[in-house]
Amino acid sequence: MDVSNPAHAGQAVYTERVLKSYDAVVLRMSSSFIWRCPADHILRHYDRHVGGTHLDIGPGTGYFLDRCRFPVHEPGITLLDPNLTVLQHAAARIARYRPDTRQGDALAPIELQDRSYASVGMSYLLHCLPGDIAAKTVALDHVLPLLAPGGVVFGTTILGDPELHTGVGQRLMALYNRKGIFSNDDDTRADLDLALAKRFPRYELEVVGAVALFAGWLDEDSETPADWPARSATG
Ligand SMILES: C[S@@+](CC[C@H](N)C(=O)[O-])C[C@H]1O[C@@H](n2cnc3c(N)ncnc32)[C@H](O)[C@@H]1O
């Protein structure tokens, strides 16, 4: 990804050195104690939603894919990330599933087979993407055509609403936003709710600490998303 791209910093930070300490520092410590949503809670979110054909966007170290329970013995997994180091690291960790890897940006259209995934995961991705919720949830639009009928998009993201954060959390979030590693200052629970309501006939949104856990489903008999009428945000 070009350094002039506003999304560059949010993925470039994941060097091999950072990935080596990521599970301990980000998933065990920060997730539990700073954002106040233990990684086990996110793992259960994976267990509930992951399907037999799964696209994971922004897989990081592959921690959740390595530990979650797939509904079939031999899931078909695709990993998508702009960062080749991430793709290699995560693919090696779950080599037993023989995943496909694709270098790509969640903010650009994704060239994969339409209607071929039972689930798409985006854990701790949206807060790394530039723009407000309305701008960054274009990432949801890019995966909708890839979902099989009845398929689910699920994920987690750290929200920016100040009342969800401790003082330490606010300071760390401000630092990460200054560095461009996070872009979530303006990400509100209300906007995420609206973005999900607009796109999915059925969705769930839970907030634990400062972390939103979400899932949105397509109807079994849904036509292509492009045919849908605009939905109201009544939830
Ligand atoms: C905070 S890590 C999350 C890793 C993992 N999903 C987890 O929950 O621990 C963010 C991941 O999103 C990826 N990422 C950042 N910007 C991206 C973009 N524009 N498109 C796709 N992936 C991106 C990063 O390279 C990294 O793998």
* Domains recognised in the chain with CATH numbers: 19-223 (3.40.50.150)
Residue nearest to atom 23 of ligand 1 (CA): 58
83 lines ligand 1 (CB under 6 A): yes
Residue 233 pLDDT level (bands cut at 50, 70, 90): very low
Q: What is the pTM of this model?
A: 0.93
Residue 186: predicted pLDDT? 96
Q: Distance between CA 211 and CA 157 in Å, rounded?
A: 6
Over the chain, what is the mean pLDDT?
Answer: 93
Question: How large is the average pLDDT for residues 56-79?
Answer: 98
Give the pLDDT score at 222.
65
pLDDT at position 228 over 60: no
Rounded mean pLDDT, 155-170? 98
Confidence of residue 223 (pLDDT cuts 50, 70, 90): low
Share of the chain above pLDDT 90, in %: 89
Residue 225 has pLDDT above 90, yes or no: no
Residue nearest to atom 12 of ligand 1 (CA): 58
- Residues β-bridged to residue 208: 211
pLDDT at 220: 80
How far, in Å, is the centroid of ligand 1 from the Cα of 126? 8
Q: Would you say the CB of residue 14 lies under 6 angstroms from ligand 1? A: yes
Beta strands in the chain (DSSP E): 53-57, 76-81, 100-103, 117-123, 147-158, 202-208, 211-217
- For the cut 60, the answer to whether the pLDDT of residue 207 exceeds it is yes
CB of 146 within 8 A of CB of 106? no
**pLDDT-above-70 percentage for the chain:** 94
Torsion of CA 153, 9, 43, 233, to 10 degrees: -40
CB of 37 sitting under 6 A from ligand 1: no
105 lines ligand 1 (CB under 6 A): yes
Answer whether residue 193 shows pLDDT above 60.
yes
Q: What are phi and psi of 117, to 5 degrees?
A: -115, 130
**CA 139 to ligand 1 center in whole angstroms:** 12
Which ligand 1 atom sits nearest the alpha carbon of residue 22? 9
Tell which residue, 93, 84, 79, has the closest CA to residue 123: 79
Name the closest-CA residue to atom 15, ligand 1.
Answer: 11
Are 38 and 17 spatial neighbours (Cβ–Cβ below 8 Å)? Answer: no
Per-residue model confidence (pLDDT) at position 217: 96
Q: Label residue 231 by pLDDT band (50, 70, 90).
A: very low
State how far the alpha carbon of 39 is from the alpha carbons of 29, 100, 211, in Å: 9, 25, 11
- Mean pLDDT across 1-30: 94
The separation between CA 103 and the C-alpha centre of its own chain, rounded to angstroms, equals 16
